[in-house]
Amino acid sequence: MITKERILQHEPLKIADRCDQCGAQAFVRVAFGPERDLLFCGHHYNRHEPVLMTQYSHVTVTDERHRINQKPSVSANAD
């Protein structure tokens, strides 16, 4: 479990990953450390990016916004 957590920030985002702000599918992960990260949808990352980049210089950003329009979110009602 601990090993998995340590590489979590490098794994691609999954459909099950949700924006911490609104619950939409997350396309950006901002990792503050091996066990602490935030997930954002494209909309909310756009909104918070300037602050994040200004106030946190050591974050690891996984930006997969290029996938947003790749295909329709057929998982929207999968739950």
CA angle 7, 59, 67 (to 5 degrees): 70
**Among 19, 31, 38, 52, contact with Zn ion (rule: CB under 5 A):** 19
Phi, psi of 8 (to 5 degrees): -55, -40
**52 lines the binding site for Zn ion (CB under 5 A):** no
CB under 5 A: which stretch of 7-15, 35-43, 53-61, 63-71 binds Zn ion?
A: 35-43
Contact yes or no for 27/68 (Cβ under 8 A): yes
Taking CB under 5 A as the rule, does residue 26 contact Zn ion? no
Query: 2 vs 50, which CB is nearer to Zn ion?
Result: 50
Q: Which of 22, 36, 67, 76 binds Zn ion (CB under 5 A)?
A: 22
